[in-house]
Structure 1
């Protein structure tokens, strides 16, 4: 499901970037992946500090 959503976002951003001739639309896939990453970190059941240490191995 997430894969199809990301592919749709990429296709839509390419379409809009070439149709409107604005390369700013090409940032949309990167922003959506970053937003999904932040959403998954917040949704993780452990406390935020422990989650970030676990992901980036800061212990």
Structure 2
């Protein structure tokens, strides 16, 4: 739950900064932080990295 709040805060702050300073870079920050979070969670799985990625993409539903 704390991660949802942190990612929400990052998103809100970066959108406000992007609108105020009119720079597109701030709008990519939420995507980068969510990608980094997902990457860390995949790395934490106790299987080899490529096996974990294959398993995730083989899931249907």
| TM-score exceeds 0.5 | yes
Q: How does 1:1-59 map to 2 (within 5 A)?
A: 1-57=2-58
Task: Give TM-score scaled by structure 1 length.
Answer: 0.86
Task: Give TM-score scaled by structure 2 length.
Answer: 0.83
SS of 1:17 mapped into structure 2: helix
Shift of residue 14, structure 1, vs aligned partner: 1.1
Q: How many residue pairs get matched?
A: 58
Structure 1 stretches (4+) deviating beyond 2 angstroms?
Answer: none
Shift of residue 49, structure 1, vs aligned partner: 2.1
Question: Where do 5+ consecutive residues of structure 1 fail to align?
Answer: none
Question: Where do 5+ consecutive residues of structure 2 fail to align?
Answer: none
Q: Give the superposed CA RMSD.
A: 1.4
